[in-house]
Amino acid sequence: MRKKLSQKLKRAGWDEYFMNIAKVVASRSTCERKFVGAVIVRDKTILSTGYNGSIRKLAHCSQVGHLMENGHCVATIHAEANAIIQAAKNGVCIDGGTIYMTASPCWSCFKLIANAGIKRVCFGEFYRDARIFKFAKKARMTLVKL
The DSSP-derived string for 5-64 is HHHHSPPPPHHHHHHHHHHHHHTT-S-TT---EEEEEETTEEEEEEESBPSTTS--HHHH
User: Known catalytic residue: 69?
Assistant: no
Catalytic residue, candidates 16, 32, 69, 80: 80
Report the alpha-carbon distance of residue 114 to residue 141 in Å, rounded: 8
- Which positions are catalytic? 80
